[in-house]
A and B are shown apart, each in its own frame.
Chain A
Amino acid sequence: MTAGAVALLMAWFGQHEVALPSADGGGPPVPFWRLFAAAAGVLPVLTLVSPLSGLEGASSAQFARCRTAVLVSALVFSGALAVLASLFASESTAAAMTARAVLAWFGLALLSGRVLAWSLCWVLPWAVLAGIVYWGYDSSAAAHRWWEFTARPVADVASLLFVTTTLLAGIAAYSLTPWRLFNLRGLRRRLVHEARRPGQFARRRHGGHRTGVKPPGRSPESRSGAANRKDV
């Protein structure tokens, strides 16, 4: 419903241009559909918000698949509405630009949500949006900077690369569930231990055993917690 509201506002109000403060004082006015595209990109990520997100993070693969399906359908729905709305609001190139921007905002929102909290997934996109509005235009060159992915021409390679990177980073952040992070940490620890001399770890943890004699029945590996627990 909110995606619909955003799209309606975007279609109705999207072509209105407003002068916003910019660092070098000479930026062109910003049409509102660019702001709405940011909202359309962030909105799908809000489907991940849950009071039990900690528990859901450690969920079974089946639940994770279902959640991903909901996320992707929300993105398709919200993105399609935004593109449709921008067709109404502005000339035809805006639709492709909106599609590109929605994907980038979506990636940024995933990244932000994974790092902060899913309910704070809007923070990083909003920081980037503020940066784009304020520093995105270079008036000495009379052009938008290369990373200004909301206003550069559709065929711009730099913007395309930027958007792809952001989207991939977002997907990577999404797939780094707490469970996978935990496994990665265990893997790292195990690799570090194997690089060390045997017995060194036990000596450090058990200061009493100055002779380096291991406590009976306990190998250094079994003390390394994470690596061990992973196999449970």
Chain B
Amino acid sequence: MIFRIHLRSTPLRHAFLPIMAVGLLVLYNRPTYWVGIWPETGAAVAVSAFFMSLFVAGSSAWAAARLELMDVRALAAARTNRRLFVEGNLWAAALFWLTAPLLAVAALAAATTAASGVQAGFPSFVGYGILGLLLVWLAGAWGWIVGRLLEPLVAALAAALSWFIIGSLAGEITGATPVSGPPWIALQASALVLRSSAALLLIVTIVALTGRSEDQRSRLKGAAFVAVAALVVAASHVALPVQQPRSPVASPLCVNGHIEYCLWPEHEKYVPLIRQVDAEVGAVPLDLPLPPKIVDYSLSGSTQWIDGNQVELPGEYAPEFDISEGSRWALARGVAKAITRSVLSTCERSAAIEDPAHHWDLLLAWLEVRLAGGGSPDYTTNAPANIQAAWFEARRVSVELNDAQQAAWAVSVIDGHQKYCSGA
């Protein structure tokens, strides 16, 4: 009953809409490649949660310090002796209104991705959602602590500023603020459980904090309890890394065309893009020896993470492409590179003999622009000027010559490369 009264009377109920607006702006006013990929959707929610948490910390401190700020300390001190009960209800109502915006944003994000019909990777969405929830909860708890302990006048500003610093440092050190959720990264359930339990402990312990109107001894006791809980939270975040490289899945999502393409199952929405690029592979105007299989980034098993270092394993592996944020040019470049390697496999690019005409790069850039469907690249580069000149020349060829002329040009490029093989 008293909880419901607090729920309806806490000034934080007015914070619901503004904080949700912040979350929605951050979620949708950005490249929306996350739509249709569950782990990326979760990571997008976590990014929203970081920005919402900046306001959650400030609002929470403002609400906690408000009674004191309004100079009604005597009134606050004269309230019921069931202090923990009253304090608990106040805090629960505050936490409700501070958590609700994140849940609303997460629900909208989930609905957006669910509309695309992809199913693989939903547990990762929940995992990243929990990381976002932890951010908001810890920000709320931090704000409440600052609001209870610090001078009420500066509490909100101090909480907002300090949370900005704590949150960004914690993100750097413990991975608490993920910015993207690619399928080749797996969240560790054990770390999530540990962090959530510690956060819950802090949330419960916070009730022990008393206002500045109470006596010194109970204030110190409360602060000590909360300090221990805060240390537990910090330790839980440092103890286990939450993101770990993921091993290739046993049954990836494979698309058969002129080449076999295999994707992480979470990348199902890229199948039409793969088909478009494969159609362009079929339209290349000369017969090239194609690689039998190309796989998504980190899916070939050619590398392994040992003690935080990426180690190349010996042996033959399928070449990889990286559909960076849904970019057709990135995919085209990956496939073009694999085809170029396959075409010139008998003649590896020599490091010892400098090729003044850059035949390898000419062929690569020509295939790239054809597979990307023409136009200009969506990336910027800092490659050496002579290499960039070769790429530019190949793009010019793809526009100015017809298919038969392009085929003849490509043959001349492949032949020209033979002079610069490492074996020659």
Residues of A within 8 A of B (CB): 2, 6, 13, 18-21, 23-25, 32, 35-36, 38-39, 42-43, 46, 49, 51, 119-120, 122-123, 126-127, 129-130, 134-135, 140, 142
Is B169's CB under 8 angstroms from A134's CB? no
**A42 CA to B62 CA, complexed, in Å:** 15
Residue B55, interface by CB 8 Å: yes
Please indicate the chain B residues that have their CB under 8 angstroms from the CB of A127 in the complex: 22, 55
Is A46's CB under 8 angstroms from B165's CB? no
- State the main secondary structure of chain A at its contact with B: helix
**A99 CA to B179 CA, complexed, in Å:** 31
Query: Looking across the interface, which residue of chain A has its beta carbon closest to that of B15?
Result: A123
Query: A120 contacts which of B47, B62, B172 (Cβ < 8 Å)?
Result: B62
Contact sample, A vs B, 6 pairs, CB 8 Å cutoff: A20-B168, A25-B31, A35-B164, A35-B165, A119-B156, A129-B54
Is A18's CB under 8 angstroms from B157's CB? no
Q: Write the B146-163 contact mask toward A (1 if CB under 8 angstroms, else 0).
A: 000001011011101100
6 additional A-B residue pairs with CB within 8 Å, beyond A2-B154, A38-B161, A126-B58: A18-B171, A20-B168, A21-B179, A119-B153, A126-B55, A130-B26
Is B58's CB under 8 angstroms from A51's CB? no
CB B350 to nearest CB in A, in angstroms, measures 34
Query: Looking across the interface, which residue of chain B has its beta carbon closest to that of A127?
Result: B22
Is B26's CB under 8 angstroms from A134's CB? yes
Interface size class of B (residues with CB under 8 A): 35 or more
Residue B210, interface by CB 8 Å: no
Is A21's CB under 8 angstroms from B47's CB? yes
Is B31's CB under 8 angstroms from A24's CB? yes
Query: Looking across the interface, which residue of chain B has its beta carbon closest to that of A130?
Result: B51
Please indicate the chain A residues that have their CB under 8 angstroms from the CB of B154 in the complex: 2, 43, 46
Is A39's CB under 8 angstroms from B157's CB? yes
Residue B69, interface by CB 8 Å: yes
Is A134's CB under 8 angstroms from B51's CB? yes
Residue B80, interface by CB 8 Å: no
CB A47 to nearest CB in B, in angstroms, measures 9
Considering the complex, which residues of chain B in the window 256-271 have a beta carbon less than 8 Å from any beta carbon of chain A? none
Considering the complex, which residues of chain B in the window 38-66 have a beta carbon less than 8 Å from any beta carbon of chain A? 47, 50-51, 54-55, 58, 62, 66
Residue B70, interface by CB 8 Å: yes
Is A18's CB under 8 angstroms from B168's CB? yes
Residue B81, interface by CB 8 Å: no
Query: Looking across the interface, which residue of chain B has its beta carbon closest to that of A131?
Result: B25
CB A62 to nearest CB in B, in angstroms, measures 23
**A132 CA to B323 CA, complexed, in Å:** 28
**A49 CA to B54 CA, complexed, in Å:** 22
